[in-house]
Structure 1
Amino acid sequence: MKKFLIVATIIFIIIISNTNEFISDKFQTSDSYFTKVIDKDIYIAKNNKWEKFYIKGINMNSTKPGVYSNDYNVTYEEYSRWISLIYNMGVNCIRVPNLMGHDFYKALEEFNRDNENPIYLMQGIYFDETYLQDGYDPQSINLKSVFKDNIKLIVDSIHGNNYNFDKADILKNYNTDVSEYVLGYTVGIEFEEDDLIYTEIMNEKKSYYGKYIYTDSDASSFESYLAQMGDYLADYEMKTYEKQRLISFIGSSSYHIVNSMENSNSDYTISNLSKDKDVAKKYVDIENIKYKKNLKTGIVASYNIFPAYSEIKQYYGNLKYYLETINNYHTVPVIISELGIPSSRVANSFTEGEEQQYINEEKQGELLVQAYRDIKTSNCAGGFIFEFQDSWSRSSWNTKESKLIDRSAYWSDAQTYSQNFGVMTFEPGEVKSTPYPDTSIDEWDADSIVSEDENITLSMKSDEKYLYFMIKSLDRFDFEKDEIYIDLDVTPNSGVEQSSQFDLIFETPVDFIININGKENSRVYIHEYYNEFTFNKNKTLNKARPDLINYKYNMDEFSKILIEVSPKIYVENSNSFIEEVNYETGKLVHGNANPMSDYFNSVSDFYIGDNYIEIRIPWALLNFMDPSTKQIKDDFYKEFKTKPLQINEINVGCTIKENGSTIKRLKSESYDLDGWIMPKYHERLKQSYYILKEELNKK
């Protein structure tokens, strides 16, 4: 009886202790933390109680035209304006990928200072991918030290510690304390499969048991490494500032792709891609990273999801189901740390089917609203739209070899989808000078005329994004019988002086033909010798057997311009391939490109008026690698690679046909190219901003 009473007393004490802790956590706040995890949700301390907090977030970076993310050249005034726009949009949390310029934190603190409902911050702690590209093991002693230094730097910075400027590239004192608005940290990046396999091979699998965070026996060596970095973060902030906040790690979204419908006779399940213990694990599973009770805030799983059409095929076009699958798998809250859809004339594999290759701003907004609703109904703890502003400095996998990367921030490449994820864009040039293809030609004057006769004028302009053309006639165009051909001599190293294909004769060797053939059938053609798409497809063969090359610099052939938007992909869980997808990127879209118009279509390439046609052609479509320094692509077959060649002018002519016969020829004249050191631009909120604003502000 005595033993029973002792045991019963011990059990009673344990129950009371745990109950008191639960009650204390749930109903009382603490000076050391203001946010925490309860079950699968995030809570913040507000009005002397814990309130459930659903993240309606957006990502922001520190770039603008002419500025790279590590330049820290965005001003306080710009950050202040952007934060106000974000707040008015209905966003309650901003996520940043790494340490921002000090002016960002200063602007955030001032905006929040007297705000009853502040905008919170999810602070990223970046792992520098350049080390991985150079072949380093992320778990090596040196990189572990670098990562810890960045953790310490960022923790000090958000607390306004004046003594955090020992890093060579940090030139400002971070003396603004924004810690009361920082919900948590996102530790690391979404690591690539190849890097994960490499680090698993290089390191022994073992669990980690730290002061705040640990891993279980199923954890990979890399998951234990992430746990160690998270533990270092929690310990450093607690020791130095006596504060805690949420800690989030980014999981591998491919790990959660459901099993193929064809291969599953039961309910869909999580696809464990590496059950064999002898196979290097190529994904990060956040469930293997645990936290102790002394981490009062908790751990959150994050996922970066970009619903391209190739991915949609893998979860049957149902983003909501995919998100539910991820969320149901986890025992901790799940936030979607990045979910992006670009507004772009080349929308990569984000569109369904090959007929419509673009996503305009209106469609971007509609798709993002649907994605936001899917995140919410999947019972995730919230998500962050990717991203607030466009980023000129970015290059995508299918365009990175076609441009000068160190000059990418100085011009806007309409062919690069990754530059266009923002809901605010940077329009090239000054506000009133942009010659949008639209219902007015008031911005054109006599100084822009390149070639003319008594009835027809051909005018040209250019800016940081497009080369513009305007053809004006005294007579009305009738595209039931009329066709217009604008010929461009861009490179001096190839081209042809006639085209039997189009029955055209030119004064100089021509590389491109812009064919206006009504609203639905207009496009840009490229001289086949100067066709990079064909060259890349045959590059390996050309190097091995140059004697088999049947391309000549003056060959009489023009082709449609194609771009690869989705490579051939092997889908492991269905044991099948998704075939490569190519788009005709040279096909032109008719519409009104003026943002002030009720009929605005952001991806419009040309507009047909009664007696005029306005056209804008992206620089990259004409094989420019950097228009700011007037550099184009040189002869591909000369050295079997893409390299730059500087030019100073292009030659442009125009032929008008009626019922297939030439009735007018404006001979080719030179158009002088103007380079620039720093780009001119102006900000504009996209249609997608206003569409999202309406959704996010709903009660």
Structure 2
Amino acid sequence: MKKFLLICIIAFVLIYNLISSIATNQLVGQNDTYFTKVKEKEIYIAKNGKWEKLDIVGVNLNSAKPGTFPSDNLVSEDDYLRWISNIYNMGANCIKVSNLMSHNFYNALDKFNKNRESPIYLMQGIYFDEKYLKDGENPQSSNLNDGFITNIKLIVDSVHGNPYNYNKPDIVQFYNTDVSDYVIGYTLGIEFAKHDIIYNEIMNEKEKYNGKYLYTNDKASSFESYMASMGDYLLDYELESYKKQSLISYIGSSSYNIVSGQKNPVKNTFIEKDDRIKNQNYYFNPENIKSKSKLKTGLFATYNIYPSYNEVKEYVDKMDYYFKKLNNNHKIPVVIGEYGIPSSRTGGDFNMNSDKIKYIDEKEQGNALVSLYRAIKSSGCAGSFLFEFQDSWSRSSANTADSKILDRSAYWSDAQTYSQSFGLMAFDPGSGKSVSYVDDSIDEWSEKDIVSKNKDMSLYAKSDEKYLYLMAKLSKDIDLSKDDIYIDLDTTPKSGVKKSSQFMLNFEDNVDFIIHINDIDNSAIYVHEYYNRFNFYLNKKDNQKRPDLINHKKDMDVFSPIYIEVRPKMYNTSNGEEEAIIHETGKLVYGNSNPNSLDYNSASDFYVGKDYVEIRIPWGIINFMDPSTRQIQDDFYEVYKIKPIKIKDIKIGMTLNSEYKKVRLKSESFKLDTWLMPNYHERLKESYYILQKELTKISN
């Protein structure tokens, strides 16, 4: 009897597995309205007549290049075709875009995938216009609702190649290329801010949603029900119009709450007294939106997670735990929609490995991305999208936005702005190569680059869309244990002094900046304290209250280190309030900046050769607001804000203080160039190749 029961059990298991396998791998031809679906915690895709598990290895792609803003839609089809090829060759199988792209992108995607056995897929984002939320409008108002529905229809029509969609007046392109065979799903909406969700719950009644394809559970907020209705509309519109169903995803804003186990860390007396919302979650949880049997594809949750997020920061050394805890909290698949690390000389708060080194070079960027990718992979998440493929000159970060002319930010590269440097591909200045590299060669310098010289030394200068380059060449070998090299810059007619007691220097002009090269570890740029933007902002509020206490004078004999805030004051549950983190951004990084060198360091600022020193100075450090139009920051204390003024040149001088004598090379004028459109060339970073090695190793 026992033997008979054992045989029956084995037979039952075999039959069950066979039926399950047939159900999972059924021929797609039986229902050609969809080619992706969710099963439990995994995503499947139809291939060769059966369902195969899809682990999403993705990259975010934007629509910008130097000299353009994302909304300009000026990236060519050839550009996109080349970028898509680079992404594919790196080992990715999916691209994610946040909103409707130019028709050139979809044309390029179709052309790349044509007759390709393993195409690269597309996760299409549908943007919720948050600018109205900033104006205090109800997220569920008819104005925002109509705009969201219009954008849903526009994007669905566009990826299906409908050339007659003119519902949105600012879209005048023909989207006549059908790429729907590559669209695996849509991410609906944005990562909604906590205060916007709180405001929504105050303004709207909590109601469950019960639609054709989606519904919400009892825990759902009013806003989650609203977003479920928008997903229902999208699904119905695509099926009715194009006989296709796609995956749907919502971007959750609750990852920290899930991992930490805290329901609501926000404490607000007004909210606590409001019976409608005091027990409501103040974040968006995709798990509260459910699918019905009519949805053959399914839902998955998306989270954008960076190790520098205030809430995530306490988990920076255990991101594998963070991703695993997040994934285990969901019954639907979880995809990390964005994770990224910038390669930046002011990487600061993104630096995961060192408290002393505040920059992040391309090698560290690559290694950190691999570490994050492995943590996501081991967590059981259904996939991830790296942020992002290419750098974006047009971006500004919170700590630099006030220091530049934002309308001109796309026309020059600001090495001080970390948010420009998340890409795996850099846009370096110059056609084909940069005008100069700080490295072990000075072949790029010629007589025409000399600003001034005497029998002891010569001073050279060049510039481009990212740096002011300087080269000091001596008539003797350099010994930094005995030689101090000072290069002085007079940039603004509004400030500066003709002497520095602390450095024992005298100048012909009113100097604003001093570059001091004295050894490999401690060389730095110093700013005349009257022109010190960091300290001006630091004391601005106090000085506005008591202007009589301002002790800054135009002729003050003080030069200060140059600092930048890399993280504002923050609060996290584990450590409580943490002070802002500042970094001496004027401190120069020694190394070789030539990408073709074996000892390449992308963050390097200066290099010392046998008888020369090469230096490259980011425009932002010396207070340029837009080098393309020669505009710098005005006198802070005269206008009491950051305001631009135009200049024509920089006066540059040099002093050599050696063991036995001090030699002065008097300052001379270096005329600044202007440009309407920047010159640049594309370069795949070290991080690209590091990540490629990881991804192709796994795929092979």
Q: TM-score range by the shorter chain?
A: over 0.9
The secondary structure found in structure 2 opposite 1:670 is strand
CA contact (8 A) 1:43 1:51 kept: yes
CA contact (8 A) 1:489 1:651 kept: yes
The secondary structure found in structure 2 opposite 1:437 is coil
**Which position in structure 2 is the counterpart of 1:333?**
333
Change (3 A) 1:313 1:168: closer
Structure 2 matches for 1:295-694, cutoff 5 A? 295-308=295-308, 310-311=310-311, 313-315=313-315, 317-352=317-352, 353-571=354-572, 573-574=573-574, 576-659=576-659, 663-694=662-693
CA contact (8 A) 2:307 2:313 kept: no
The secondary structure found in structure 2 opposite 1:27 is coil
**Which position in structure 2 is the counterpart of 1:4?**
none
The secondary structure found in structure 2 opposite 1:219 is coil
CA contact (8 A) 1:97 1:123 kept: yes
Change (3 A) 1:455 1:307: same
Q: 2:502 corresponds to which letter in structure 1?
A: Q
Change (3 A) 1:280 1:450: farther
The secondary structure found in structure 1 opposite 2:155 is helix
The secondary structure found in structure 1 opposite 2:367 is helix
The secondary structure found in structure 1 opposite 2:348 is coil
**Which position in structure 1 is the counterpart of 2:15?**
none
> Aligned equivalents of 2:516 and 2:138: distance in 1?
52
Q: 2:300 corresponds to which letter in structure 1?
A: V
Q: 2:590 corresponds to which letter in structure 1?
A: H
**1:158 Cα shift?**
0.3
CA contact (8 A) 1:310 1:578 kept: no
> Aligned equivalents of 2:87 and 2:167: distance in 1?
32
**1:574 Cα shift?**
3.4
Aligned length: 671
**Which position in structure 1 is the counterpart of 2:184?**
183
The secondary structure found in structure 2 opposite 1:226 is helix
CA contact (8 A) 1:655 1:662 kept: no
**1:107 Cα shift?**
0.9
Q: CA offsets, 1:283-313, max 9 Å, x none?
A: 1111111111111111110011111285554
> Aligned equivalents of 1:254 and 1:545: distance in 2?
44
Structure 2 matches for 1:80-91, cutoff 5 A? 80-91=81-92
Deviates further, 224-233 or 237-246: 224-233
Q: CA offsets, 1:252-283, max 9 Å, x none?
A: 14544644xxxxxxxxx465546974166431
**1:544 Cα shift?**
1.2
> Aligned equivalents of 2:487 and 2:258: distance in 1?
48
Deviates further, 561-570 or 127-136: 127-136
> Aligned equivalents of 1:139 and 1:433: distance in 2?
50
Change (3 A) 1:351 1:21: closer
Change (3 A) 1:143 1:640: same
> Aligned equivalents of 2:309 and 2:418: distance in 1?
14
> Aligned equivalents of 2:575 and 2:362: distance in 1?
36
Q: CA offsets, 1:18-68, max 9 Å, x none?
A: x99996565242211000000000000111111000001100011000111
**Which position in structure 2 is the counterpart of 1:263?**
none
CA contact (8 A) 2:207 2:222 kept: yes
The secondary structure found in structure 1 opposite 2:147 is helix
**Which position in structure 2 is the counterpart of 1:13?**
none
> Aligned equivalents of 1:149 and 1:121: distance in 2?
21
CA contact (8 A) 1:569 1:580 kept: yes
CA contact (8 A) 1:201 1:280 kept: no
Q: 1:238 corresponds to which letter in structure 2?
A: L
> Aligned equivalents of 1:282 and 1:492: distance in 2?
52
Which ranges of structure 1 fall in alignment gaps of 5 or more residues?
A: 1-18, 260-268
**1:436 Cα shift?**
0.4
CA contact (8 A) 1:650 1:672 kept: yes
The secondary structure found in structure 1 opposite 2:125 is strand
> Aligned equivalents of 1:271 and 1:364: distance in 2?
34
> Aligned equivalents of 1:599 and 1:688: distance in 2?
15
Give identity over the alignment, percent. 59
**1:577 Cα shift?**
1.4
Structure 2 matches for 1:285-304, cutoff 5 A? 285-304=285-304
**Which position in structure 2 is the counterpart of 1:10?**
none
CA contact (8 A) 2:428 2:683 kept: yes
**Which position in structure 1 is the counterpart of 2:694?**
695
TM-score, with length taken from structure 1:
0.93
> Aligned equivalents of 1:136 and 1:612: distance in 2?
60
Deviates further, 395-404 or 414-423: 395-404
> Aligned equivalents of 1:560 and 1:646: distance in 2?
25
> Aligned equivalents of 2:221 and 2:328: distance in 1?
22
The secondary structure found in structure 2 opposite 1:115 is coil
**Which position in structure 2 is the counterpart of 1:98?**
99
**Which position in structure 2 is the counterpart of 1:9?**
none
Change (3 A) 1:312 1:287: closer
**1:580 Cα shift?**
1.3
**1:133 Cα shift?**
2.7
**Which position in structure 1 is the counterpart of 2:65?**
64
Q: 2:609 corresponds to which letter in structure 1?
A: G
**1:320 Cα shift?**
0.6
Q: CA offsets, 1:335-366, max 9 Å, x none?
A: 00100000000003011454101110011111
> Aligned equivalents of 1:274 and 1:349: distance in 2?
24
> Aligned equivalents of 1:153 and 1:399: distance in 2?
35
Does 2:197 correspond to 1:196? yes
The secondary structure found in structure 2 opposite 1:431 is coil
**1:388 Cα shift?**
0.5
> Aligned equivalents of 2:212 and 2:294: distance in 1?
8
Deviates further, 479-488 or 189-198: 189-198
**1:637 Cα shift?**
1.5
> Aligned equivalents of 1:306 and 1:434: distance in 2?
35
**1:675 Cα shift?**
1.1
Structure 2 matches for 1:116-195, cutoff 5 A? 116-195=117-196
The secondary structure found in structure 2 opposite 1:507 is strand
The secondary structure found in structure 2 opposite 1:472 is strand
CA contact (8 A) 2:491 2:512 kept: yes
The secondary structure found in structure 1 opposite 2:350 is coil
Q: CA offsets, 1:464-499, max 9 Å, x none?
A: 000000111121111011011111111111111111
Change (3 A) 1:191 1:382: same
CA contact (8 A) 1:654 1:666 kept: yes
Q: CA offsets, 1:138-197, max 9 Å, x none?
A: 221101110110110000000000111342222210000000000100111111222222
CA contact (8 A) 1:258 1:271 kept: no
